Structure 1
Amino acid sequence: MSLGLSPDSSTASDIAVARQADHVAFLHRAPFVADSLALGFLPGFREDCGYQTDQYLNLEIPVGMLDNDFRDPDLERFVDRFFEYEPRVGVIGDVDEIDDVDAHVAAAREIQASYPEAELIVVPKSRAVIDAIPENLVLGYSRGYADRLAHDFSDPADWRGRRVHILGGSPPKQLDAIRQLTRPTLTDEPPADIVGVDWNGLHRGAQFGEFWTADGWDDSGRDADHVTVRKTVRHSLARVREFWRAHGIWPETTPQDEGLNVEYEGPSPADLEDAACTECGTNVWRTRRGPYVAEYDTGAICGYCSYECYFSHRHRNNLEEIAGDQSVYLPPA
């Protein structure tokens, strides 16, 4: 450890506390965000996207984080969206000029009046804007694919003593930024307080059969018949979680610990639109027990005349239910 610090020094302890995030967010659509919530991530989406759950029967995924549409920003629209979805974390917008700070702060104040516990993030895009943002708002540190990244216009010292959310960038890049913002200094400056991180790049690799590892993308499962994009994203999420745990960034508590859960009601025979068994064509209503029903993450609802037909069709087509066993209706014996 630099500067002669011992592992049990108070300075080292303060830095460890500053580096541990309150949340690690994953912004995407269903079913990927549902899987991320189950793994301990904070789910969310960009205001112009949504979870795209219309294809499912009764699936409600809580909005933990709401990002703004940075390509078409509109503060009034974002405030309306915040009140509609009631997230725990909100990225209000990017601020390029000092003259734009007041409008973003006013939007934050409007939200805070109704949601005082919400973490609201404002993203400075110039050195002068950093100091102009009130200290009770979180600073967004751009590390992803934004037009202007934080290190392009500022030094780590500019962010010290502030609450910071790292926006985008792969985990190693985010970790490098966290270390720069929190490492001990000769002048004993306080570290930045890392509130959260988010990165949504896992799906791009998964589309090509690649999952994320700390050593880079791994395509060892690319040609396996049983590997799907969803399974690959889920595997990558688990790897990301382990990465953050190993470096002391993963939060002490998860959104589920705090009551954030998926609400889902599984299918029933009444949801079937076809009497024919999806596997063998038998009339499912003329069997002794009645239909077996499954809702898959493709949005398809399939009826079967027997468990054997359900099992065979599911595995031959490498299907996965939207919410595990909850997505399967078994008729009474």
Structure 2
Amino acid sequence: MSLYLSSSASTASEIATARQAEQIAFLHRVPFAVDALAPGFLPGFREDCGYQETQYQNLTLPVGMLDNDFRNPDLDRFVDRFFEYEPQVAVIGDIYEPADVDDHVAAAREIQASYPEAELIIVPKSQPVIDIIPQNLILGYSRGYADRLAHEFSDPADWRGRRVHILGGSPPKQLDAIRQLTRPTLTDEPPADIVGVDWNGLHRGAQFGEFWTADGWDDSGRDADHVTVRKTVRHSLARVREFWRANGVWPETTPQDEGLNVGYEGPSPADLEHAACTECGTNVWRTRHGPYVAEYDTGAICGYCSYECYFSHRHRNNLEEIAGEQSVYLPPA
């Protein structure tokens, strides 16, 4: 006999609330992190990676989520990284044995003393660890690339009544986990509260010209010359957002609502290292209006003698600005 029940109206409302996340994170480097923030994903990175944004002029992107280097964990180092980046959400580390819980909780308490609103995640990697982790810390439910996945050592009942972040796995796999952790039961167990999910697998498919859909990977744009990896990732992000919206998981608020925004001043003529127009070779300083300047997601800053040269060079080479219109300097008319 199944332990699951069809839900009443009140239970259905409770489950819907439990399933709606507070954040959907996408951890990657710039420019992909910039593109993820625009539609409402929480950007971030693993502590040993960073945004890799130093090649760009005057670009800053706050860290929404900081993941730990699970292959080379170090609690002291991670706490230092937290204070350096000040993320909203942080994955402190994985715990395999109950004896290691105290050290991770101590690290969390050190962070909470200065950042009481931070969402701190600890990832249990064995069933006995789950109940030892304090209730005011979020449990990380491993569903993606990991040496030990949550469903391999635990049952859904072990996670009920706790705040949970789904770590990795494609959206359908994450949704399956969410449903298992929140559906009504004969024993009237409270659902898990799904705080967030994250997955950064979109870039891997995009490198082969494939974008993500709810029905699987689609390679219909693989042979299109104008479709770049960045555009493919952006298209996949839109598909992922619609998937979570359709299933009631997409958050009510976005990182922008919480004040997380890209800081970017854009290029200026002073950033040019050469006087020659990138397109035609004309001296950009001898034109009537002065140079047009564009910064691209390749990190290159190019100067042009006219808008026509800018437009021609950009489109012929399938270039894309790092942050849209802000990335182009137009001289005064």
Could you say which TM-score interval applies, normalised by the shorter chain?
over 0.9
Residue 41 of structure 1 is matched in structure 2 by: 41
Residue 183 of structure 1 is matched in structure 2 by: 183
Q: d(CA) in 1 for partners of 2:323 and 2:34? A: 8
CA shift, 1:172, in A, is: 0.1
- TM-score normalized by structure 1? 0.98
* Long gaps (5+) in structure 2: none
Residue 113 of structure 2 is matched in structure 1 by: 113
Report the 3-state secondary structure (helix = DSSP H, G, I; strand = E; otherwise coil) of the residue aligned with 1:189: coil
Write the deviation string for residues 134-183 of structure 1: whole angstroms up to 9, x where unpaired.
00000000000100000010000000000000000000000000000000
Report the 3-state secondary structure (helix = DSSP H, G, I; strand = E; otherwise coil) of the residue aligned with 2:5: helix
Q: d(CA) in 2 for partners of 1:27 and 1:64? A: 9
Residue 147 of structure 2 is matched in structure 1 by: 147
Report the 3-state secondary structure (helix = DSSP H, G, I; strand = E; otherwise coil) of the residue aligned with 1:208: coil
Residue 3 of structure 1 is matched in structure 2 by: 5
Assess if the C-alpha contact under 8 Å between 2:6 and 2:184 holds in 1: no
Residue 290 of structure 2 is matched in structure 1 by: 290
Alignment of structure 1 residues 269-284 onto 2, 5 Å:
269-284=269-284
Q: d(CA) in 1 for partners of 2:271 and 2:88? A: 34
Report the 3-state secondary structure (helix = DSSP H, G, I; strand = E; otherwise coil) of the residue aligned with 1:278: coil
Q: 1:293 to 1:17 in 2, by over 3 A?
A: same
Q: Which amino acid aligns with 2:268?
A: S
Write the deviation string for residues 44-81 of structure 1: whole angstroms up to 9, x where unpaired.
00000000001101100110000000000000000000
Q: Which amino acid aligns with 1:97?
A: E
* Moved >6 Å (runs of 4+): none
Q: d(CA) in 2 for partners of 1:255 and 1:3? A: 35
CA shift, 1:223, in A, is: 0.5
Assess if the C-alpha contact under 8 Å between 2:88 and 2:118 holds in 1: yes
Q: d(CA) in 1 for partners of 2:36 and 2:7? A: 37
Q: 1:155 to 1:4 in 2, by over 3 A?
A: closer
Residue 202 of structure 1 is matched in structure 2 by: 202
Residue 88 of structure 2 is matched in structure 1 by: 88
Write the deviation string for residues 96-128 of structure 1: whole angstroms up to 9, x where unpaired.
000000000000000000000000000000000
Residue 246 of structure 1 is matched in structure 2 by: 246
Alignment of structure 1 residues 260-275 onto 2, 5 Å:
260-275=260-275
Report the 3-state secondary structure (helix = DSSP H, G, I; strand = E; otherwise coil) of the residue aligned with 2:166: strand
CA shift, 1:93, in A, is: 0.1
Q: d(CA) in 2 for partners of 1:33 and 1:292? A: 26
Q: d(CA) in 1 for partners of 2:6 and 2:269? A: 68
Q: d(CA) in 1 for partners of 2:6 and 2:234? A: 41
Alignment of structure 1 residues 131-146 onto 2, 5 Å:
131-146=131-146
Q: d(CA) in 2 for partners of 1:61 and 1:145? A: 26
Q: d(CA) in 2 for partners of 1:270 and 1:157? A: 61
CA shift, 1:5, in A, is: 3.1
Q: d(CA) in 1 for partners of 2:13 and 2:233? A: 34
Q: d(CA) in 2 for partners of 1:210 and 1:136? A: 40
Q: Which amino acid aligns with 2:163?
A: R
Report the 3-state secondary structure (helix = DSSP H, G, I; strand = E; otherwise coil) of the residue aligned with 1:3: coil
Q: d(CA) in 2 for partners of 1:238 and 1:63? A: 21
Q: d(CA) in 1 for partners of 2:182 and 2:237? A: 25
Q: Which amino acid aligns with 1:293?
A: V
Write the deviation string for residues 81-103 of structure 1: whole angstroms up to 9, x where unpaired.
00000000000000000000000
Residue 161 of structure 2 is matched in structure 1 by: 161
Q: d(CA) in 1 for partners of 2:289 and 2:7? A: 70
Report the 3-state secondary structure (helix = DSSP H, G, I; strand = E; otherwise coil) of the residue aligned with 2:221: coil
Write the deviation string for residues 234-272 of structure 1: whole angstroms up to 9, x where unpaired.
000000000000000000000001110000011010000
Q: d(CA) in 1 for partners of 2:186 and 2:223? A: 52
CA shift, 1:4, in A, is: 4.2
Residue 126 of structure 1 is matched in structure 2 by: 126
Residue 216 of structure 2 is matched in structure 1 by: 216
Q: d(CA) in 1 for partners of 2:7 and 2:190? A: 15
Number of residue equivalences: 330
Report the 3-state secondary structure (helix = DSSP H, G, I; strand = E; otherwise coil) of the residue aligned with 1:146: coil
Residue 17 of structure 2 is matched in structure 1 by: 17
Assess if the C-alpha contact under 8 Å between 2:7 and 2:184 holds in 1: no
Assess if the C-alpha contact under 8 Å between 2:96 and 2:126 holds in 1: yes
* Long gaps (5+) in structure 1: none
Q: Which amino acid aligns with 1:173?
A: K
Report the 3-state secondary structure (helix = DSSP H, G, I; strand = E; otherwise coil) of the residue aligned with 1:293: strand
Identity %: 88
Residue 79 of structure 1 is matched in structure 2 by: 79
